[in-house]
Amino acid sequence: MESSGDGVDEPMLQSNPPLSSERRPETSGQLESILSDTRLPFCQRLLAATWTELKLLFRLAGPAVAVYMINYLMSMSTQIFAGHLGNLELAAASLGNTGVQMFAYGLMLGMGSAVETLCGQAFGARKFEMLGIYLQKSTVLLTITGFLLTFIYIFCKPILILLGESSEIASAAAIFVYGLIPQIYAYAANFPIQKFLQAQSIVAPSAYISAATLLLHLLLTWVAVYKIGLGLVGSSLVLSLSWWIIVVAQFFYIVKSEKCKYTWGGFSLKAVSGLCGFFKLSAASAVMLCLETWYFQVLVLLAGLLENPEVALDALSICMTILGFVFMISVGFNAAARSVFIYFFHLTSNPSNNSLILRFGVYIFVRLKKIYIFFSIFL
């Protein structure tokens, strides 16, 4: 993996094999040939290209949506178990899960999304080894961010009281949040791993792992809450453990799978170089998603300021949980669309077709937005 001193300035990955037909989907060649065929009328080319890319997109978006929805179901089920303990426990879990944990989730997922762009570019440009480097860079950067976020979790009780929350609910929420501290570092590894796999159009394994972990999570939460009697802290500790199970299983897949043998070359010191530039890109990537998730947090914090905060938080928790579940559909579609579009844009054999593919990509994004709105209405 390491380059010699004489070849420091040479392009990386010269020893990597070319992108074979197995690693280059037939769909990309079809899309390029359809869009560049001027013999066909424009509308006919548009319809054919739309059908070609949507087939691939839905094949990728299905498992991607499943991953985000199943992961969200783990948090949802944890709140359901907390609700069976009492109104105070449900209010505390809602305030801790949405009011505090959502802050870290939005920030970490947004920063991890930078890997999606970089890995898509590297994979399309056939610089396979760079995917592993970007994965490690993002994990290191998010771990540092997670360490800083840990202090917010530790001092969440005085922070919540300072924001005007009830001291009783803030105390119970702090107990719940303490059990979520290990989850921060699971986020730091999980989001880069997910983007690393999505950039290679590998999404089904993550869906299978998440589904199996959800079943295990339900069993372990039931044991921790009802059989052992650990209460709120037990439910949150099991949630953190479940996220770590997903991380370990996905990393084991990366190390052992033949599909990742060129993109994962082991740990490298290159992961700790150039972190400042990588941080700027990650921070820019985080802004939009943070704004989309933090308004959930603001609503929950405001509900805690009402006259009867327990009832308000309990009622809002149910509504926000359903809304968040639907929101995961758009997150999954967005992940699949970005991965496919970036990959096709850099994989096209004729650079002159890039502008055409760019315009077509914008068109696909608009169509996907309409599809998401359609599903949201019925959900």
Tens-place pLDDT, residues 190-221: 999 988 988 887 888 998 999 999 999 999 99
Tell me if 32 is assigned to some domain.
Answer: no
Predicted local confidence at residue 153, as pLDDT: 94
What's the sign of the alpha-carbon dihedral 18, 269, 289, 247?
positive
Q: Give domain status of residue 235, yes or no.
A: yes
Does a structural domain hold residue 190? yes
pLDDT confidence of residue 63: 78
Q: Does residue 1 form part of some domain?
A: no
- Looking at residue 157, its pLDDT comes to 92
CB of 76 closer than 8 Å to CB of 321: yes
Residue 29 inside a domain? The answer is no
Question: Shortest CA distance to 314 belongs to which of 72, 97, 69?
Answer: 97
- What is the pLDDT at residue 163? 86
Got the DSSP string for 241-266?
HHHHHHHHHHHHHHHH-GGGTTT---
C-beta separation of 239 from 217 below 8 A: yes
Locus of tokens 């060649």: 29
The 3-state DSSP class for residue 27 equals: helix
> Locate tokens 């929950």: which residue?
300
pLDDT the model gives residue 20: 39
Q: What is the DSSP letter of 176?
A: H
- So what's the pLDDT on residue 12? 36
The pLDDT tens digits for 227-237 are 998 989 999 99
Collect all residues with Cβ–Cβ distance below 8 Å to 297 and sequence separation of at least 6: 98, 99, 100, 102, 103
- What is the distance between the alpha carbons of residues 92 and 86, in angstroms, rounded to a whole number? 10
Low-confidence ranges of the chain (pLDDT < 50): 1-28, 346-354, 377
State the Cα–Cα distance between residues 207 and 221, nearest whole angstrom.
Answer: 21
Q: Are 124 and 342 in contact (CB under 8 A)?
A: yes
User: Per the structure, how many domains does the chain have?
Assistant: 1
Q: Is residue 24 part of a domain?
A: no
Q: Which long-range contacts (CB under 8 A, 24 or more apart) does 171-174 make?
A: 172/88, 172/89, 172/91, 172/92, 172/232, 173/91, 173/92, 173/93, 173/95, 173/96, 173/99, 173/100, 174/96
pLDDT on residue 106: 82
- CA nearest to 335, candidates 228, 173, 194, 167: 194
**Residue range(s) defining the domain that contains residue 64:** 44-378
pLDDT in the model for residue 181: 95
The size of the chain, in residues, is 379
* pTM (two decimals): 0.78
- The verdict on residue 355 lying in a domain is yes
Which tokens go with 258? Answer: 């033949």
Domain assignment present for 199: yes
pLDDT at 33: 64
